Structure 1
Amino acid sequence: MDIKIDFNTVVVFDLDDTLYNELDYLKSAYQSIALSLEPNNWKVLYSKMFSLYRCRFNVFEFVANSYNKEVEDLVDMYRNHDPDIRLFEGVLDVFDAIKSKNGKIGIITDGRSKTQRAKIDSLGILEYLDSIIISEEIGSDKPCIANYKAIENSISGKIYYYVADNLKKDFIAPNSLGWYSVALIDNGMNIHYDSHKYLDDRCLPNELIIDFRDIKII
């Protein structure tokens, strides 16, 4: 798909499972927890934690019972660790192309401020961003229209694009605001993979893409 960019264009992105795979954040957190609890043999614990997750067991409950820890403490370790995550191929090419044509870039993401900002820092994209809207910071989650209006209020523009992945909540508000919405199709590793339930006009984006190589900035 072609996106024509000038100084009146704002391209907004979701974060988790749009710019990188959220599953990689989970794996990074599990490794951090395993290293903390078993520094000399962490890979065995990490392997078990990830296997339990894949089998839909309560990983925090298992670790808490095995190591005499509180679940709340493990959740804090998960949320507050220093993440090791990587952008999808092509993201920086798109960001560079947008900026080269004087376009603006925003982020709308649900989650806790410290966690989401740590992800953005780990991905190395802060310098590209003109606005960051995080649900905890404004007190509302997607699909609330307030999250999208916050972008409009912080970045002036005539044309807004929104690139995201979750059909359940990502596109309802931008569609109602007249933004051009684009869905990144699940690559098989998404945390939320029930998009088949939301293939109605209210939830569907204007366009779907396979990966960032499908976006051409003109």
Structure 2
Amino acid sequence: MIFFDIDGTLLDYDYAEREGILDFFRANRYLSTFSNQQPIDVWKQLSSKYFDKFLTNELSFQEQKRARMMELFNMVEIDLTNDEADEKFEQYFSFYKDNWKAYPDTIDVLNKLSQLGYRLGIISNGEYQQQVEKLRCIGIEDYFDSIITSSEVGAAKPDRTIFKEACRITNSPIANCYYVGDRLETDALASQMAGMNGIWLNRIDKSYHPQQGIVEIKSLQELLKIIT
């Protein structure tokens, strides 16, 4: 069984987030005081801050979205009600979703692995329905037998529980499973510690960084050489 992360692995998350937040800022004139790179940096900080609270069960998925928007507008001295914050997030999400796209190598590699008879799955931090929607929108949902998310399991990467639960659900011996993700510690090392074969997809840094027991690849095309 070969499991994949989604954001930064199959879906170009950085592109979608960057273009989505820039579109959102342009649509909200009250945020015009932010300039140049600032909207992207501020949004990334808020996203990290509140999504981590979701992963540690401090906030629900809806609450972390709402909190991001409330803090963002507080920066320009605007207080949003809960309903207003929810509406603003949905506006942002619409822009973000419009920019979802698969990496150029994603569909080709998934197609080849499927043709070779490999079972494919997803292990992702996040809310189940949203992660399924991403896969559907970029045209790859049907490649996967199972989609395992932290919201369903009650544990998030790098907790080894989510990797072990994915193997239990799919009836797959953990030592025979691979996990491919773009984050060294959260994906590759964590899955390796759980008993899988961790593979670090390092799309950004063109130099290699040897890690004990971890295979590093620069594109999904390299995965085919390792698996097959």
Length-normalised TM-score, structure 1: 0.71
| CA-CA distance at 1:213 after TM superposition | 2.3
* Bigger RCO (CA 8 Å, 6+ sep): 1
Report the Cα distance in structure 2 between the residues aligned to 1:104 and 1:71, rounded to whole angstroms.
46
Report the Cα distance in structure 1 between the residues aligned to 2:165 and 2:131, rounded to whole angstroms.
17
Report the Cα distance in structure 2 between the residues aligned to 1:35 and 1:48, rounded to whole angstroms.
10
- Is contact 1:183-1:209 (8 Å) kept? yes
Q: Give the secondary-structure state (helix, strand or coil) at the position aligned to 1:169.
A: helix
Matched, 1:179 2:196: yes
**Partner AA of 2:106 in structure 1:** V
**Partner AA of 2:24 in structure 1:** I
Alignment correspondent of 2:220: 212
- Is contact 2:200-2:216 (8 Å) kept? yes
Change (3 A) 1:37 1:169: same
Structure 1 runs, 4 residues or longer, greater than 6 Å off: none
- Is contact 1:105-1:129 (8 Å) kept? yes
Change (3 A) 1:125 1:35: farther
Q: Give the secondary-structure state (helix, strand or coil) at the position aligned to 1:121.
A: helix
Change (3 A) 1:169 1:62: closer
Q: What pairs with 1:1-218 in structure 2 (closer than 5 Å)?
A: 10-31=1-22, 33-34=24-25, 37=28, 48=34, 51-56=37-42, 60=69, 61=71, 63-64=73-74, 66=76, 68=78, 70=80, 73=85, 76-77=89-90, 80-81=93-94, 83=97, 84-158=99-173, 159-187=176-204, 201=212, 206-216=214-224, 218=228
> Which protein has the bigger helix share?
2
Report the Cα distance in structure 1 between the residues aligned to 2:149 and 2:200, rounded to whole angstroms.
20
Change (3 A) 1:56 1:131: same
| CA-CA distance at 1:19 after TM superposition | 1.3
> Which structure 2 segments of 5+ residues have no match?
47-68
Once the two structures are overlaid, the 10-residue window that deviates more, 48-57 or 25-34, is: 48-57
Q: Give the secondary-structure state (helix, strand or coil) at the position aligned to 1:215.
A: helix
Q: Give the secondary-structure state (helix, strand or coil) at the position aligned to 2:184.
A: coil
Report the Cα distance in structure 2 between the residues aligned to 1:176 and 1:88, rounded to whole angstroms.
28
> Which structure 1 segments of 5+ residues have no match?
1-9, 39-43, 189-195
Report the Cα distance in structure 2 between the residues aligned to 1:179 and 1:100, rounded to whole angstroms.
23
| CA-CA distance at 1:52 after TM superposition | 1.1
Q: Give the secondary-structure state (helix, strand or coil) at the position aligned to 1:168.
A: helix
Report the Cα distance in structure 2 between the residues aligned to 1:71 and 1:214, rounded to whole angstroms.
48
Identity of aligned residues (%): 20
| CA-CA distance at 1:63 after TM superposition | 4.1
